[in-house]
Amino acid sequence: MQKYSAFELFKNSVSHHENWPRMWENPVPKKKYDIIIIGGGGHGLATAYYLAKEHGITNIAVLEKGHLGSGNICRNTTIVRSNYLWDESAHLYEHAMKLWEGLSQDLNYNVMFSQRGVYHLCHTLQDIRDNERLTYANRLNGVDNEMVDAEQLQREIPLLDCSDKTRFPILGASVQRRAGNARHDAVAWGYARGAAMRGVDLIQNCEVTDMVIENNTIVGVKTKQHGVIKADRVGCVTAGHSGVMAKMAGFELPVESHPLQALVSEPIKPVLDTVVMSNHVHGYMSQSNKGDLVIGAGIDSYLGYGQRGSYSIIEHTVQAIVEMFPEVSRVRMNRQWGGIVDTTPDACPIISATPVKGLFFNCGWGTGGFKATPGSGHVFAATLAQGKAHELAEPFSIERFHNGALIDEHGAAAVAH
C-alpha cells in the first residue's frame, strides 16, 4: 500500500479545488511579483493570507525551502496566550488573541482553538509578586488574568500536586482563562488554503540562497531551484534562519538561533483539561485531543541549526513534570523533536523595515511565536502593503537596538531563554 505523509493526504483531499494546483505549479511562473514572502511557516502563510484578503494584493509568492509547515509552526506545543507584561507586547499578542477567537470561522477551517486556560505556577513569594504584577498590568491593558491560591488550584487541577510534600511547593498561580491551545498544522493548512484560493503562489522546495539588491533596493531573490525570482518587495519570515538571511542582505540582526525541543507521551485517557506552566521547576504540560501529554521546557543553551535537542534537557524537563504531576511518573515517552528558534536580547520579535529598501523582516519570536501567528501575519501584511510599519508593529523595529527602547519580556516569555 502506498504511504502518504499527513501533508500529502491533506493535499490530495483538497486538490479538486481549482486554485490548489498553484501550490505545486512547476516550473515556477516567470513573472515579477508584487511581494515575495520567504518562509512558508505559520507567519509567512498568515502574512500572504491577510495581504490577499485585507489588502487585495494577490500577485504574491511564498517561497519555502522545504514543504509548507515543515518548520516551527508544526513543531511547537501550541500554547496560545496574551498575558505579556509591557503595553507594546500585550497589545500585539492580544490583537492575535482576538483573531484566534474568530480564526476557524474566518478560514472556514477548524484550527481547534481551545480556550482551556493557561496557568503560571508560583512556587515562591517572589513568583507570587511577579505574577500579581503581571496580572495587574494585563488588566490595565484589557487582557484577562487572575490569581488563584493553592487550594483553588488543587480543586481546578486535581492532577497537580499542590501538597506541602513537594520539593518546590506550589503557592498559587496566575491564570489566563481565555488562553489555551490549538492544532498547529491546521493553522498552517488553513492559512495556506486561504491564500492559495485567493491566487497566491505557494512554492515549495524553493530555497532562497541570496538577495538581489540594486542601488540599495531589493529587486528579487536568488533561489537554488528556480534561479532569480523578481519582486518589488520582500518579506523575510524565516524564524530560526533569520540571521542567515540578514547576512545575505548585507546586515546583521541581534538574533541567536537555538534548538527548542518538546516531547509527547503515549496517549492516555483524559487527565488534564488545561495548560500548566512552571518557570521555577521549569516545565509545562497539556494534553492533546489524541491523549498524548504534551511536554516542553526552555531552549537548549547552545547555538545550532539542527532541528533536535540534547538529551540532558529532556531529562531535566521530565524531572520537573514528575515533580508537579507525580501520577504521570510511569507514563512512557512516545516522541521527542526539536525546532530552531531565533531569540533576541529582549525576548521580543523584530517586525521591521531594514537598511535595504523594500526588504522587511519579521522574526525573533523565539519560543513564543505560535500564539502570535494570526497577529503577526496581520500586522506584517499591513506593513508590507503600506511599506511602513503597522502601528502595533512600530515598537518592534530594529531601531530599538540602537535607541535602547527595549521591551523586556523574559519574565512573561514563560520558558527560559
Nearer to ligand PYC, 296 or 338 (CB): 296
Cell numbers 512547476 label which residue?
26
Strand 201-203, strand 60-63: pairing: parallel
Place of cell 501529554: 293
First and final C-alpha spacing in the chain: 45
Please pick, from the candidates 7, 10, 37, 41, the single residue that binds ligand FAD as defined by CB under 6 A. 41
Residues in contact with ligand FAD, counted by CB under 6 A, come to a total of 38
* C-beta of residue 311 within 8 angstroms of C-beta of residue 319: no
What does 279 interact with, of ligand FAD, ligand PYC, none (CB < 5 to 8 A by kind)? none
Nearer to ligand PYC by Cβ, of 228 and 416: the residue is: 416
Closest distance to ligand PYC from the beta carbon of 89 (Å): 11
* Parallel/antiparallel/unpaired status of strands 118-122 and 172-176: antiparallel
42 touches ligand FAD by CB under 6 A: yes
Residue 135 or 367 with smaller CB distance to ligand FAD: 367
Residue least distant from ligand PYC (Cβ) = 368
φ/ψ (deg, to 5) at 324 = -85, -35
Cβ closest to ligand PYC, residue 33 vs residue 93: 93
Binding of residue 298 to ligand FAD (CB under 6 A): no
- Residue with Cβ nearer ligand FAD (162 or 324): 324
The alpha carbon of residue 50 and the mean position of all alpha carbons in its chain are separated, in whole angstroms, by 17
Residue 377 contacts residue 43 (beta carbons within 8 Å): yes
Going by the DSSP 8-state scheme, the letter that residue 279 receives in this structure is: T
Q: Single out the segment in contact with ligand FAD by CB under 6 A; choices: 51-59, 113-121, 122-130, 365-373.
A: 365-373
Q: What DSSP designation does 84 have?
A: -
CA distance 169 to 153: 12
How far, in Å, CA of 389 to CA of 386, rounded?
8
Nearer residue to ligand PYC within complex by CB, 201 or 256: 256
Count of Cβ atoms closer than 10 Å to residue 71 Cβ: 27
375 binds, among ligand FAD, ligand PYC, none (CB under 5 to 8 A by kind): none
Q: What is the dihedral of CA 303, 305, 308, 311, to 10 degrees?
A: -20
In the complex, what is the shortest distance from the CB of residue 161 to ligand PYC, in angstroms, rounded to a whole number? 21
Distance CA 417, CA 315 (A): 18
Interface with ligand PYC (CB under 6 A): 77, 79, 81, 284, 296, 367-368, 414-415
Binding mask 235-274 for ligand FAD (x = CB under 6 A): --xxx-x------------------xxx------------
Of ligand FAD, ligand PYC, none, which one does residue 414 interact with (CB within 5 to 8 Å by kind)? Answer: ligand PYC
Q: List the alpha helices (DSSP H) in 210-301.
A: 242-248
The interface partner of residue 208, options being ligand PYC, ligand FAD, none and the CB cut-off 5 to 8 Å by kind, is ligand FAD
What is the C-alpha to C-alpha distance for residues 132 and 254, in angstroms, rounded to an integer? Answer: 31
Q: Which residues contact ligand FAD (rule: CB under 6 A)?
A: 38-44, 63-66, 70-73, 75-79, 207-208, 237-239, 241, 260-262, 296, 339, 341, 365, 367-371
